[in-house]
């Protein structure tokens, strides 16, 4: 069995110990580092090279957003953001910094472990409805929000007809099937769900997603969702 290596970064000792206890007690998981602030988190990620780092947002010395940015820029470690609130404004910035998903701190132990597996596998946490709201909000408030909003409006009857250069470029770069798959990824569908909806094999669905990641130079599915929203291919 492959053991997933995890670093836990949280300035609240009780929270950190709790997460570490759950992870360390589960076969197939190993805690390889802890951090009480962002600077320690960056150092732990670079030193231990875990598969996943659980990253709190609000920490002293350096916050989780900047720590996530430094980690994702300098390592292959995937960051899973921990937050108290399901629409914490800081999480939007964390996604821009390269985080692969986020998790509420009151998540059940089984869901925590599942989330770590998902992120370690190169996927992103898009299934929960709260995550879809988060991504939609990010698309509205991100750097290209104005263009995305105009494009989204152009897709709705009676809401203007301004063309979207970003959407046009996307449509030229991708095949019709890839555009279809991208829309489904943006809706939060898994590879299995995409396969079922398109009546194709899960392996074929996975291949389409892999092509999207390569063509769009996206780190993971969360970035695919952001691209879909910001280009106006999918409306918020």
Q: HEC profile for the chain?
A: CCCEEEEEECCCHHHHHHHHHHHHCCCCEEEEEEECCHHHHHHHHHHHCCCEEEEECCCCCCCHHHHHHHHHHHCCCEEEEEECCCCCHHHHHHHHCCCCEEEECCCCHHHHHHHHHHHHCCCCCCCCHHHHHHHHHHHHHCCCHHHHHHHHHHCCCCCCCCCCHHHHHHHHHCCHHHHHHHHHHHCCCCHHHHHHHHCCCHHHHHHHHHHHHHHCCCCCHHHHHHHHHHHCCCCC
Looking at residue 102, what is its pLDDT? 79
Close Cβ partners of 175 (under 8 Å, ≥ 6 residues apart):
none
Looking at residue 42, what is its pLDDT? 97
Distance CA 236, CA 230 (A): 9
Taking all residues of the chain, what is their mean pLDDT, rounded to a whole number?
81
Range list for CATH 3.40.50.2300 in the chain: 4-125, 142-231
pTM: 0.67
Looking at residue 188, what is its pLDDT? 73
Q: What is the pLDDT of residues 105-163, one digit of tens each?
A: 888 899 899 889 988 887 766 544 455 565 556 556 554 443 333 333 333 333 333 45
Whether the per-residue pLDDT at 190 is higher than 70: the answer is yes
Is residue 139 within 8 Å of 235, Cβ to Cβ? Answer: no
Is residue 195 within 8 Å of 205, Cβ to Cβ? Answer: yes
Whether the per-residue pLDDT at 77 is higher than 90: the answer is yes
Looking at residue 88, what is its pLDDT? 58
Please name the fold of domain 4-125: Rossmann fold (3.40.50)
Tokens for 76, please give them.
């292959």
Distance CA 169, CA 227 (A): 12
| CATH superfamily label, 142-231 | Response regulator (3.40.50.2300)
Whether the per-residue pLDDT at 14 is higher than 50: the answer is yes
Looking at residue 232, what is its pLDDT? 80
Is residue 144 within 8 Å of 229, Cβ to Cβ? Answer: no
Calculate Rg over the CA atoms of the chain.
Answer: 18
Looking at residue 75, what is its pLDDT? 94
Please report where in the chains the tokens 């879909």 appear, as a residue: 228
Looking at residue 175, what is its pLDDT? 92
What residues does 34 pair with on adjacent strands?
8
Looking at residue 146, what is its pLDDT? 37
Whether the per-residue pLDDT at 22 is higher than 80: the answer is yes
């Amino acid at each position: 069995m492959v053991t997933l290596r995890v670093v836990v970064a949280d300035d609240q000792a009780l929270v950190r110990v709790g997460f570490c206890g759950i992870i360390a007690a589960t076969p197939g998981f190993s805690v390889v580092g802890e951090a009480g602030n962002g600077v320690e988190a960056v150092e732990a990620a670079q030193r231990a090279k875990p598969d996943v780092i659980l990253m709190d947002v609000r920490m002293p010395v350096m916050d989780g957003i900047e720590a996530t940015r430094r980690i994702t820029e300098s390592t292959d470690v995937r960051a899973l953001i921990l937050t108290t609130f399901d629409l914490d404004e800081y999480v939007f910035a964390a996604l821009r910094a390269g985080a692969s998903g986020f998790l509420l701190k009151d998540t059940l132990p089984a869901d925590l472990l599942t989330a770590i597996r998902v992120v370690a596998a190169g996927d992103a946490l898009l299934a929960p409805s709260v995550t879809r709201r988060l991504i939609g909000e990010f698309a509205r408030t991100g750097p290209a929000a104005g263009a995305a909003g105009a494009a989204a409006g152009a897709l709705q009857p009676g809401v203007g007809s301004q063309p979207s250069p970003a959407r046009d470029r996307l449509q030229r770069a991708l095949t019709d099937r890839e555009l279809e798959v991208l829309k489904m990824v943006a809706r939060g569908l898994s590879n299995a769900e995409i396969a079922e909806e398109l009546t194709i094999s899960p392996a074929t669905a996975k291949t389409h997603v892999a092509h999207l990641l390569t063509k769009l130079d996206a780190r993971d599915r969360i970035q695919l969702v952001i691209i879909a929203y910001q280009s106006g291919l999918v409306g918020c």
